[in-house]
Amino acid sequence: MKKDRGLMRRYYFRVDPREIYFFKFILEGYDGLGVINTIDREKGLIRVVVPECQRNLFDRLVSALSEELLLVPVAEEVCNVSNRAQRRIR
């Protein structure tokens, strides 16, 4: 069993609000790479949840797009979805 199984990484970025849909379109092109949520559309604050096993690919994608989209990292956190899912079941 892999050590990072069930781990997800949450990335928070600030981006030009007009570019949120473009970033979402690009991200969806990479099946299973991550899920994007808009936290505050007016401020351009987004969250992207990425499986730990896809972290390297996501980091490379962000690096490639960061200048064009002006992606500014705000925060990052790691969570274990397996434990959270177990808590919800109880």
pLDDT in tens, 5-28: 678 999 999 999 999 999 999 999
Phi and psi at residue 71, to the nearest 5°: -70, 120
Q: Count of CB atoms within 10 A of residue 50's CB? A: 24
Specify whether the CB–CB gap between 54 and 10 falls below 8 A: no
Domain 7-89: state its class.
Answer: alpha beta
Please state the domain extents for the chain. Answer: 7-89
39-55 mean pLDDT: 93
Q: In whole angstroms, what is the distance from residue 57 CA to residue 54 CA? A: 6
pTM of the model: 0.79
Nearest to 20 by CA among 48, 46, 58: 46
